[in-house]
Structure 1
Amino acid sequence: MEFAVILVFSVLLFSTEGAVEKSLVKKLNICSSSYQNYNECFRGAIESAFRVLKDGDRSLGIVPIDPMFVPEMGISTVDGPVGLNLKFINCTHNGISTVKVLSAEVSPDKQRYNINMTLDTFNMNGPYEASGRILVLPISGKGICNITLYDSKIDWMFHGNPVKRGGKTYLEIDEYKVRMIPNGASIYLGNLFNGEKVLGETTNRFLNENSRDVILELAPDLNEALSRLHQGLAQRIMNLLPLEDLFP
């Protein structure tokens, strides 16, 4: 399965970089390295950051994260009972800002971060094109899709290397992994088979009656896609936040 994500981010002028850094630090809950329970403080700071960054910040060049606009996204899978090629154009991802952060660990010396979360609902909605098969039934469609994942457990891990820029140190992410495992899902693919009602309803019914199995089958590659998507956003934020400010 291949999953391509194209994100367009605003570009900040270098002349305003210092002011931008200070503004971002004020928005986020920064934990002092002297805190006795640093990981608990970091857990709360991460959860707060999801809320603070929900609508993005044009002055900082940060796009909204909820809903997150994804101009293009493609999925293809050939193994198992469901073999699909899906392409999404101008879709939105909704719900990520409502995550509950259960735990978070950071190793400042190794620049390794581990975050464990839960999320009640995560929705992907927008125009799609599909081709492939479900069991032995060929499938095709072009319309609007709506996919919602319920009660997901999420693990995030990322690692980076410090780099110097303008007299300050920033994190350059070299590894970023997302693992989302939902407990349930609802799936709707509109206008299947060029609008043939009976086949479309039958296919959507099958997908929903077997939604957990379908989503779990897609989960490994979906997680790879989410990793690429969120790494871009995380790197954008890390480019604005010196490690000296992140670990005062």
Structure 2
Amino acid sequence: MLPVLSFVSLVFVCNINAGNLPEYIQRCDLEDKNFVECVKEKISTTLPYFTKGIKELDVPPLDPVKLDDIDINGNGLNLSFTDANMYGISNAVITNLKLDIGKDDETFSLQFKSNMTLMAKYVINGRILILPIQGKGDAKVKANNVEVQIDSKLSHVKDKAGTHFRLVTPIYKYNIEKTTFQFDNLFNGNKRLSDTTHEFANQNWRQLMDDLSPPYIKQIVKTCVKAINKFFAKFTIQEMVKNYKEN
């Protein structure tokens, strides 16, 4: 989830005259040859703070990410999730980072890995491959080693205060190593049928995740892009980036 684009904004911040600016937000020097490594280090340091939200900067908490309702209808299966929340972004590990700032085309690429857990209410009816499934209740979906790569352009937006960064046209790709499902109250609580169905579903987890992953990962990326753009809107580029020279 991913997820995670909002981490990058923290490392650009320099000394700003803002009394409420958290002291853990620190800067990296754009002219430093180790700038990207500095950014990566600061992301890891500030991530636990940022995912809790920064109220004074209007940045909402990102762990958990509240998801819209998800409906999957196809291949003989009807599955819906409501009241869904995704946990795990605060435990993400940055595995790769590329930044091009101060050039005509400014971009960055961020890759991270994390274990994520979806908690939601569910309603399911139909079949997983050849096995019937039916139930309604609480659901827990644990996705292990979710690796997400997000690439985005940085545009400039001008207002009365000056020029700001803004993320535009982000694209992403992802891979999931393993997923396990826990659906409470399958078959009205019939343990034998429930155990058999869970074993089969967890052995064939990719069929469910092929439909489930795209909408919820898209929502996580969308939420994080919105958060980082709120952060960028608070400060001009000159306030945020040390030794940045606008073309």
Question: TM-score, normalization: structure 1?
Answer: 0.77
Task: Give the SS at the match of 1:23.
Answer: coil
Change (3 A) 1:113 1:181: same
Letter of the aligned partner of 1:157 in structure 2?
A: D
Aligned-CA RMSD value? 2.7
Match of 1:247 among 219, 222, 241: 241
User: Does residue 95 of the first structure (1) align with residue 92 of the second (2)?
Assistant: no
Structure 2 partner of 1:23: 21
Change (3 A) 1:204 1:236: farther
Task: Give the SS at the match of 1:182.
Answer: strand
Q: How does 1:130-141 map to 2 (within 5 A)?
A: 130-141=124-135
Change (3 A) 1:115 1:144: same
Q: How does 1:77-88 map to 2 (within 5 A)?
A: 77-79=73-75, 83-88=77-82
Aligned length: 225
Q: CA deviation at 1:188?
A: 0.9
Equivalent-residue separation in structure 1 for 2:214 and 2:202 (angstroms)? 19
Contact 1:152 1:182 (8 Å CA) reproduced: yes
Structure 2 partner of 1:164: 158
Change (3 A) 1:199 1:50: same
Equivalent-residue separation in structure 2 for 1:135 and 1:165 (angstroms)? 55
Structure 2 partner of 1:195: 189
Equivalent-residue separation in structure 2 for 1:193 and 1:19 (angstroms)? 60
Q: CA deviation at 1:132?
A: 4.2
Structure 2 partner of 1:3: none
Structure 1 partner of 2:56: 59
Contact 2:134 2:187 (8 Å CA) reproduced: yes
- Comparing both chains, which one has the higher relative contact order based on Cα–Cα distances under 8 Å and sequence gaps of 6 or more? 2
Q: List alignment gaps of at least 5 residues for structure 2.
A: 1-15, 243-247
Task: Give the SS at the match of 1:28.
Answer: coil
Contact 2:72 2:211 (8 Å CA) reproduced: no
Q: How does 1:152-231 map to 2 (within 5 A)?
A: 152-212=146-206, 214-215=208-209, 218-231=212-225
Contact 1:181 1:216 (8 Å CA) reproduced: no
Structure 2 partner of 1:111: 106
Contact 2:65 2:87 (8 Å CA) reproduced: no
Contact 1:151 1:184 (8 Å CA) reproduced: yes
Question: TM-score, normalization: structure 2?
Answer: 0.77
Q: CA deviation at 1:221?
A: 4.2
Change (3 A) 1:101 1:164: same
Q: List alignment gaps of at least 5 residues for structure 1.
A: 1-17
Taking only the aligned residue pairs, the percentage that are identical comes to 18
Letter of the aligned partner of 2:227 in structure 1?
A: L
Contact 2:52 2:61 (8 Å CA) reproduced: yes
Comparing 40-49 with 69-78, greater Cα deviation is found at 69-78
Equivalent-residue separation in structure 2 for 1:42 and 1:112 (angstroms)? 14
User: Does residue 44 of the first structure (1) align with residue 41 of the second (2)?
Assistant: yes
Match of 1:128 among 122, 125, 135: 122
Q: CA deviation at 1:22?
A: 6.8
User: Does residue 236 of the first structure (1) align with residue 223 of the second (2)?
Assistant: no
Equivalent-residue separation in structure 2 for 1:77 and 1:238 (angstroms)? 38
Q: CA deviation at 1:114?
A: 0.4
Q: CA deviation at 1:207?
A: 1.4
Equivalent-residue separation in structure 1 for 2:47 and 2:219 (angstroms)? 20
Q: CA deviation at 1:32?
A: 1.6
